[in-house]
Amino acid sequence: MFYGGIDVGSLTAQAVVLKDNSIYSFQSIPVKPNPVDSAAAVIEGALRDKGLTLKDLSFCVSTGYGREQIQKEGLAGENMSEISCHGKGAWWILPRVRTVIDIGGQDAKVIRVDQDGELVNFVMNDKCAAGTGRFLDVMSKTLGVTVEEIGPLSFSARQVIEMSSRCSIFCETEVHHYLQRGAGLADLAAGINRTMAGRVMALVRRVGIEKEVTMTGGVAKNPAVRRELEKAMGLKMLTYNVDSQLVGALGAALIARRLEEVKS
């Protein structure tokens, strides 16, 4: 039996195909203008890799942008919030996890789950770019480095130049001023990553921490933000060997399997 999960984000779309109790296939693509097109391309791609088609899926769940439309177009049998999917996916990989920090391209969420991976509570910021992947995106461009480089870059910092504002636009201006005065890229990168973590910590504090803690989403790949968050929380976060951007799609596929089991 095969189960599918589709997660369309602001920048990338992911699909996971489950077989029995393991990840059988997965794919990640940059988004297309329309979320339904992204969903179709990514799930069909993940299936094609294993010589499968949509018809081979017993059940499929969509999440993320346009999840309802994706269901309406028949690509998924049900749709679920990203919050439930990220909680479920992270818990399946790491059953001891109770707090999931999920930072995507345009939002940040802190999700609390119970021993069964069910949602207990969450907080979310999707109103302001600060504390989301977009903040790192804007800041990397300002520094003239890629978003993949800004994390490792800060490890060679000699000092941490923290930003005085949280607003991405104001930080951009601030970084320009520092650059004009000859500040080091690494020192600024370190400050940017710390400022980013500070904004995420405001969300973490609102929902509270229960151990164990892990991160999902694209920003989980930034080691400097991870380290700043660990310092601020006073704990080590759990790591895992699944791409952190796949966790939402994985959770969707797990929910698809459960829904199908309940039905039969």
Q: Which helix (H) or strand (E) holds 62?
A: strand 57-64
- If one asks whether residue 257 binds another protein (CB under 8 A), the answer comes out as no
Instruction: Annotate each residue in 51-90 with x if it binds another protein (CB under 8 A) or - if it does not, as one string.
Output: ----------------------------------------
CA-wise closest residue to 152 among 202, 192, 100: 192
Distance CA 103, CA 90 (A): 13
> Candidates 22-30, 71-79, 122-130, 142-150 — which segment interacts with another protein by CB under 8 A?
122-130
- Give the position of tokens 């968050």: 229
CB neighbour list of residue 205: distance below 8 Å, 6 or more residues apart: none
Q: Give the nearest distance from C-beta 173 to another protein in angstroms.
A: 8
- If one asks whether residue 127 binds another protein (CB under 8 A), the answer comes out as yes
Q: 171 to 200, contacts with another protein by CB under 8 A?
A: 173, 177, 180-181
Contacting another protein (CB under 8 A), which of 128, 209, 242, 259? Answer: 128
Instruction: Annotate each residue in 19-58 with x if it binds another protein (CB under 8 A) or - if it does not, as one string.
Output: --------------x-------------------------
Q: 148 to 167, contacts with another protein by CB under 8 A?
A: 165-167
Strands 213-216 and 99-103, how do they pair? parallel
Q: Which residue stretches of 113-246 are H helix?
A: 133-143, 150-153, 168-180, 185-207, 223-233
- Cβ distance 121 to 109 under 8 Å? no
**List of residues contacting another protein (CB under 8 A):** 33, 106, 127-129, 134-135, 138, 165-170, 173, 177, 180-181
